Amino acid sequence: MPFREKSAWLALIAILLSFGPYFAIVASGGIPMEGLPNMRMMGLYTVVCAVQVSILAIGHVCLRQASPVDARTPPDERDRALMYRCRTRAYYVLITGTVLVGCFMPFYTTGWRIVNATIFMISLAEVVYYGSLVASYRKQAA
């Protein structure tokens, strides 16, 4: 498995492990939706971001130590083409989210619902990007 595929797996897992519980807590109403600023919600989001950064930092250090030569190799034309195609898919998700959150939601909701919808759409776009990248690498390997 190439370094870039391992890196994409790592990023996908980090997003799912960090933001999955965040959205489960938000959807279940584990933290009440108070007005802005809601310091408990900000604290939860801070912890989630710290968890994601920690997973990525530790994971990338381990991946680089496991294959230092592969980690330093610049992306070739195949890698760039895969990243371009996957970024295009994620862009459509992000634009759809931007339209929903920025154009429609302000007319019927406010505060943390808009903030969480924005975070969700950004996270979903990243999941689409890294998921597509992993699937593309797996498809090429088969």
Tally of domains in the chain: 1
Domain that holds residue 67: 3-141
Q: Are 56 and 11 in contact (CB under 8 A)?
A: yes
- Cα 10 to Cα 67, 113, 125: the distances in Å are 15, 29, 16
Q: pLDDT band for 128, please (50, 70, 90 cuts).
A: very high
Residue 60 has pLDDT above 90, yes or no: yes
Q: pLDDT band for 141, please (50, 70, 90 cuts).
A: confident
Taking Cα atoms as reference points, which of 26, 18, 11 lies closest to residue 51?
18
pLDDT attached to residue 13: 97
Summarize pLDDT for 2-56 with one digit per residue, the tens: 899 999 999 999 999 999 999 999 999 887 777 777 788 889 999 999 999 999 9
Summarize pLDDT for 77-124 with one digit per residue, the tens: 999 999 999 999 999 999 999 999 999 998 988 888 899 999 999 999
User: In whole angstroms, what is the distance from residue 3 CA to residue 65 CA?
Assistant: 11
Q: Are 11 and 130 in contact (CB under 8 A)?
A: yes
